[in-house]
Structure 1
Amino acid sequence: MGGGGRATGGPAFVLGSASPARLQVLRSAGLDPVVRVSQVDEDAVADALPAGTAPEGVVCALARAKAEAVATALIAEHADVVADCVVVGCDSMLLVDGELQGKPLTPEVARKRWAVMAGRSADLLTGHCVLRVRDSRIVAEASDCTGTTVHFTTPTAAELDAYIATAEPLQVAGAFTLDGRGGWFVDRIDGDPSSVIGIGLPLVRRLLGDVGVVVTQLWVGGTQLGSDATR
């Protein structure tokens, strides 16, 4: 994954995520991000947080860890974008019965989660962190969390078997997607749909403003970072 750019006069936009869904949301909204994968150990970051950290604090801490890892790597590499860029990290988890759920990773875990979620509602929390980098230094930071309530239908046993067999729910927070096959099993949402997909456009717009960037500066791509900047 590579490419990316910026509009004339605006900073480069760096997405610290491998998520194709997040990338597509941003491209559909007029951006052409540089993509870097953070390689952050999410479990280690979460385990290091103080006991009793609120769910919103957990996803924000994970988002910040990802953004900081990407920014630090770009600075160390003397990448062109560190003259002026924003680095955005995100992390999504589903809050069900007070427990945060990330990616199930296995069919067995996905099936157990759907047994709890089916016919109920849960809150999809997405932490966002925006770092402003200028002249190879992090000069500003803003972070926050969005919460969107997702109301699930109850798939039949055959439908759930077929869905899990696609492997789609294994690598996504909460074992579902809104913009993929999982959308068939979502009755409705209360909140920001882009946040459920993985990156909340209204919140990112506000966080960009907090670090001194107007989102319209970022529309339309141009300047590129080489294809070696993909990991």
Structure 2
Amino acid sequence: MLYLASQSPRRRELLGQLGANFSILDVDVEEVPFPEEAPIDYVQRVARDKALAGWEHLTREAQADALVIASDTEVVLDRRVFGKPKDADDAVDMLQALSGHTHEVISAVCMVSGKREEGDVSISRVRFAALSEPEINAYVATGEPFGKAGAYAIQGRGATLIEHLEGSYSGVMGLPLFETARLLRSFGVAV
């Protein structure tokens, strides 16, 4: 049985696009970078921590034959990791920093079973248009930036902020489908 260790409706939607049957595990993992931790290492660690937390939950319930997949996605500009905004002011600050710049979106996926653990990572480059203060405030007022790394949603109104995308659209959304499908196949899951 396949389980997705995620609270994200976007990840559920994306994994569903692959046609795999899965159930949801609600895991809570601390998402704070270690001092001097490289952004890619941080994102991979959090994805792994989520998968392992899901696996530990299942093994307590005697489901040792299960597979658990988890992901983490972060926006990075000049080695600064932009998590989810705490409030409207934080969202405005993030969008102002991203305005007119190209940033990276790192999306890591990790899969664990009783016998092995594997992960993969997708790195996309996203260029924001130069945004005015009224544009930023109007976008934040929609509520869409909340709960989203970097304070925007590429699959929503946030798409209007983006001049150029190089990489994985699904990775920017929160689950890189190419890497995810490759991992699922390697664990014997049909997609």
Instruction: Give me the TM-score of the superposition, normalised by structure 2.
Output: 0.92
Query: Which 4+ runs in 1 deviate beyond 3 A?
Result: none
**1:23 and 1:33 in contact (8 A); partners too:** no
Note the aligned Cα RMSD (angstroms): 1.6
Where structure 2 has 5 or more consecutive residues not aligned to the other structure, the ranges are none
Residue type matched to 1:117 in 2? L
Per the alignment, residue 16 of structure 1 pairs with 5
Taking only the aligned residue pairs, the percentage that are identical comes to 29
2:49 is aligned, of 58, 61, 65, to 65
C-alpha distance in 2 between matches for 1:139 and 1:31 = 21
1:125 is aligned, of 106, 118, 122, to 106
Residue type matched to 1:53 in 2? E
Please state if 1:52 is matched with 2:33: no
Per the alignment, residue 87 of structure 1 pairs with 68
SS at match of 1:139: coil
Per the alignment, residue 93 of structure 2 pairs with 112
C-alpha distance in 2 between matches for 1:183 and 1:215 = 31
Please give the per-residue CA displacement for 1:3-31, whole angstroms capped at 9, x wherever unaligned: xxxxxxxxx22111111111111222323
Aligned residues, how many? 191
Per the alignment, residue 59 of structure 2 pairs with 75
Per the alignment, residue 223 of structure 1 pairs with none
C-alpha distance in 2 between matches for 1:76 and 1:214 = 23
2:125 is aligned, of 135, 142, 149, to 149
Please state if 1:196 is matched with 2:185: no
Please give the per-residue CA displacement for 1:117-149, whole angstroms capped at 9, x wherever unaligned: 1111100001211112xxxxx211001221000
Per the alignment, residue 136 of structure 2 pairs with 160
Residue type matched to 1:172 in 2? K
Please state if 1:185 is matched with 2:177: no
C-alpha distance in 2 between matches for 1:28 and 1:154 = 33
Q: Which has the larger radius of gyration?
A: 1
Where structure 1 has 5 or more consecutive residues not aligned to the other structure, the ranges are 1-11, 133-137, 217-231
C-alpha distance in 1 between matches for 2:189 and 2:57 = 25
Residue type matched to 2:54 in 1? V
**2:51 and 2:110 in contact (8 A); partners too:** yes
- Report deviation, 1:166: 2.0
